[in-house]
Amino acid sequence: MDFDPTDEQRLIRDTVRRFAEQEIMPVAAGNDRAGRFPRELVNRMAAMGFLGGPIPKEYGGSGLDYISHAIITEEVGRADSSLRTTLSVQVSLVALSLVRWGTEEQKRRYLPELCAGRLLGCFGLTEPNAGSDPSGMETTAIKRGDRWVLNGTKTWISNATVAGLALVFAQTDPGKGHDGIAAFLVEKGSRGFSTHPITEKLGLRASDTGELIFEDCTVPDSALLGPSGHGFKVAMSALDNGRYSVAAGCVGIIQGCLDACTEYAKTRKQFGRPIGSFQLVQDMIARMAVDLDAARLLVFRAGHLKDHGLPHTVETSIAKYFASEAAVRAATDAVQIFGAYGYSEEAPVARYYRDAKVATIYEGTSQIQKLLIGSHLLGIRAFT
């Protein structure tokens, strides 16, 4: 693996960083306080090609490699994890699932719209009684002629109320467990399909979150993404992509914490000297720097494997587990370094602190990642 970025990757980093610093950072705190979804920024990111990063050019994407996609995601995450969540869902969970599993007609219909930001997508897997165990989902899809009838509720769905397209998973035969799950593309406005917002969240307040509600929602057979019964495979491949982008976004959180703390520690004085001269402050900053390098390299390793078409599920789980936990450590230490200011919304680290925690929960909890890694190493399934 070559550790030197290409000229194109350097240009991408510089471009995204400039955009993030000039357009995202100045409004991130205000959007967070107001719980305001920044649709105008999503449109700007689409115009710059961010929403089509690794999507093939023939479908309206930018055709970028996965390292470049990680760079984009990291820089957006450094500025605002709420916006990074929208980016991750749009690209990694929805668009890349269409690239891999969609028919040519589905790709031509939806991918250009997703890449251009004219259509936003959401990923409907989690339910009130089924999170880490998808086989326990209660949403059903019953075949009636050449159509399917969906009933059930999905919850904690990012982009739920702003998305025009939902990738939804439903059980067609409860007796088959994983093998009975199917994936469907459900458009907003479909009869029997409604959404409900979820507010008052700890973090990601500028990210749209809600429920997807299906009440005798009828969709055509052409709405199937992949064959019926392959929904679990569709979901797991999507989560591989989603975990990669979450990990990259967490690298951005760590970088943001390190940037804020190094500047503050050099200017904030106590006992007549900068707090950066105190050994225990240096200890916390040093740990951030080590975690930053380790997390970024783990993300790039997973991206390298993805770019070469090699198996990467375990490496992606390792990157997601480490980067998300490291982001929580970095944000916790950042609040400590800022002291009372860190406990207020006056400093950006309070938002980093609130936003970091969810990364250890969604796209597979840290505990699920450890079980995946352990099962691979031992050759013994941790799941029944």
Instruction: Please tell me the distance from the alpha carbon of residue 195 to that of residue 291, in angstroms, as a whole number.
Output: 39
Q: Which residues are identified as catalytic?
A: 363
- Please state the domain count of the chain: 3
Domain final residue, candidates 182, 204, 229: 229
Q: How many CB atoms lie under 10 A from the CB of residue 236?
A: 13
pLDDT of residue 321: 98
The residue among 228 and 204 whose pLDDT is bigger is 204
- The least confident of 127-136, 265-274, 366-375 is 127-136
pLDDT of residue 179: 87
Q: Are residues 160 and 148 in the same domain?
A: yes
Domain final residue, candidates 72, 88, 120: 120
Residue 209's pLDDT band, with cuts at 50, 70 and 90, is: very high
Domain of residue 183, residue span: 122-229
Q: How many CB atoms lie under 10 A from the CB of residue 191?
A: 10
Domain final residue, candidates 185, 213, 229: 229
Please tell me the pTM assigned to this model. Answer: 0.95
**Per-residue pLDDT tens over the stretch 159-183:** 999 999 999 999 998 878 888 899 9
Q: What's the whole-number mean pLDDT along residues 54-75? A: 97
Q: What CATH number is associated with residue 193? A: 2.40.110.10
Eight-state DSSP code of residue 6 = P
Whether residue 181 lies inside any domain: the answer is yes
pLDDT of residue 349: 97
Q: State residue 259 phi and psi, 5-degree precision.
A: -60, -50
Structure tokens at 327: 């982001």
Structure tokens at 63: 């055709």
pLDDT of residue 384: 64
214 pLDDT higher than 70: yes
199 pLDDT higher than 80: yes
pLDDT of residue 147: 95
Q: How many CB atoms lie under 10 A from the CB of residue 23?
A: 17
Q: Are residues 106 and 14 in the same domain?
A: yes
Whether residue 384 lies inside any domain: the answer is no
pLDDT of residue 131: 79
Q: What's the whole-number mean pLDDT along residues 193-202? A: 96
Range list of β-strands (E), 271-345: 273-274
- Cβ contacts of 260 within 8 Å, gap of 6 or more: 334, 338, 347, 348, 349, 352
Determine whether 26 is exposed, middle or buried from the number of CB atoms within 10 Å of its CB (0-12, 13-18, 19+): exposed
Q: What CATH number is associated with residue 252? A: 1.20.140.10
Instruction: Please tell me the distance from the alpha carbon of residue 372 to that of residue 123, in angstroms, as a whole number.
Output: 22
Instruction: Please tell me the distance from the alpha carbon of residue 43 to that of residue 1, in angstroms, as a whole number.
Output: 34
Whether residue 2 lies inside any domain: the answer is no
**Per-residue pLDDT tens over the stretch 231-255:** 999 999 999 999 999 999 999 999 9
Instruction: Please tell me the distance from the alpha carbon of residue 172 to that of residue 97, in angstroms, as a whole number.
Output: 20
pLDDT of residue 42: 97
Q: What's the whole-number mean pLDDT along residues 369-381? A: 94
75 pLDDT higher than 90: yes
Q: Are residues 98 and 133 in the same domain?
A: no
CA-angle at 185, arms to 100 and 305, nearest 5°: 25
Q: What is the dihedral of CA 113, 114, 116, 120, to 10 degrees?
A: 110
Instruction: Please tell me the distance from the alpha carbon of residue 73 to that of residue 91, in angstroms, as a whole number.
Output: 10
Instruction: Please tell me the distance from the alpha carbon of residue 367 to that of residue 372, in angstroms, as a whole number.
Output: 9
Q: What's the whole-number mean pLDDT along residues 344-359? A: 95
Handedness of CA 269, 272, 276, 281 (dihedral sign): negative
221 pLDDT higher than 90: yes
pLDDT of residue 1: 65
Helices of type H across 180-278? 231-267
Average pLDDT, the chain: 96
Whether residue 195 lies inside any domain: the answer is yes
Q: Are residues 208 and 237 in the same domain?
A: no
65 pLDDT higher than 80: yes
Do 167 and 188 touch, CB atoms closer than 8 A? no
